[in-house]
């Protein structure tokens, strides 16, 4: 392990992924974004080295058995280390989901981020806050007493939420809500004194695709943000900050 961050890309066989999740007794009907399925697969494939955050591209579209799924992830480990871990310790059903040789194409991310640098970005988020329960930050806002006559816009609330998430690391120059839907997610409840197993619990939460431009404000804090991801449910396919040239 080093201080570098690597971007990993793999093509997943959807049929093999479903065979793996069925073997793990993960119910896809309560896992619309495949977040828990991919999370379980990553743990089985890489153990403690499992990349996080990650992103399953086009997770909202219907998958086809003859078309691979595109997966991206950030890892503190290079491709050779991840491949050796997978080929040595993973279960056969987990290893069959992808071609481990693809790990050798892992890309090292820049070692430094210059303060003032403008970066285009895209991030798939789950914009929720947690008090007693998790709830859409937009719904929490509209429940508050109105202080102005203009209606509250979902895109505005999510933009303000994102600005708070990146505060200290970057300043948002622009942000747009490029996609939104409510998603039925599968999560595990915590073990209790009387339960050995954790049972799946479906929850419905917002999924927001945000795009825009940001400016780096602190080199180390930005690097930490990139490696950590944004918001909640980062271990389930949310919060991976993808960078692009600013427009």
> Quick check: is 144 in a domain?
yes
> Quick check: is 62 in a domain?
yes
Please report the pLDDT score of residue 44 as a whole number: 96
Tokens for 7?
A: 């971007």
Q: Can you name the residues that pair with 215 across neighbouring β-strands?
A: 118, 171
Whether residue 177 is found in the same domain as residue 136 = yes
> Quick check: is 1 in a domain?
no
Please report the pLDDT score of residue 194 as a whole number: 46
Nearest to 104 by CA among 81, 124, 87: 81
Contact between residue 158 and residue 165 where contact means Cβ atoms under 8 Å apart: no
End-of-domain residue from the set 57, 74, 108: 108
Q: DSSP assignment, residue 112?
A: -
Tokens for 54?
A: 């990650």
> Quick check: is 113 in a domain?
no
DSSP symbols for 187-223: EEPPPBTTBSSPPEEEEEEEEEEEEEEEEE--HHHHH
pLDDT in tens, the chain (247 residues): 457 999 999 999 999 999 999 998 876 666 788 899 999 999 999 999 999 999 999 765 556 667 889 999 999 999 999 999 999 999 999 999 999 999 999 999 999 999 999 999 999 999 999 887 899 999 999 988 766 667 889 999 999 999 999 999 999 999 999 999 999 887 665 444 444 444 456 789 999 999 999 999 999 999 999 999 999 999 999 999 999 999 8
End-of-domain residue from the set 108, 126, 146: 108
Contact between residue 75 and residue 241 where contact means Cβ atoms under 8 Å apart: no
Whether residue 98 is found in the same domain as residue 132 = no
pTM for this prediction: 0.90
d(CA 112, CA 148): 43
Backbone angles phi, psi at 144, to 5 degrees: -75, 155
């Amino acid at each position: 392990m080093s201080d570098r961050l690597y971007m990993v890309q793999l093509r997943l066989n959807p049929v093999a992924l479903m065979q793996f999740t069925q073997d793990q007794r993960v119910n896809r009907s309560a896992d619309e974004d495949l977040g828990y399925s991919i999370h379980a697969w990553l743990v089985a494939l890489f153990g403690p080295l499992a990349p996080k955050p990650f992103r399953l591209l086009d997770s909202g579209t219907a998958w086809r058995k003859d078309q691979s799924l595109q997966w991206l992830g950030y890892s503190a480990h290079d491709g050779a280390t991840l491949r050796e871990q997978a080929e040595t310790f993973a279960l056969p059903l987990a290893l069959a989901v992808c071609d481990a040789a693809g790990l050798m194409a892992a890309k090292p991310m820049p070692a430094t981020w210059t303060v003032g640098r403008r970066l285009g970005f895209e991030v798939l988020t789950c914009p929720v806050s947690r008090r007693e329960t998790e709830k859409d930050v937009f719904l929490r806002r509209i429940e508050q007493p109105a202080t102005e006559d203009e209606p509250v816009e979902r895109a505005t609330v999510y933009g303000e939420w994102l600005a708070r998430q990146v505060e200290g690391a970057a300043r948002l120059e622009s942000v747009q809500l490029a996609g939104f839907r409510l998603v039925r997610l599968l999560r595990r409840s915590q073990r209790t004194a009387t339960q050995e197993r954790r049972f799946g619990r479906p929850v419905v939460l917002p999924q927001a695709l945000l795009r825009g431009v940001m400016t780096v404000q602190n080199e180390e804090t930005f690097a930490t943000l990139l490696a950590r991801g944004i918001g909640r449910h980062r271990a389930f396919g949310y919060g991976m900050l993808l960078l692009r040239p600013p427009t």
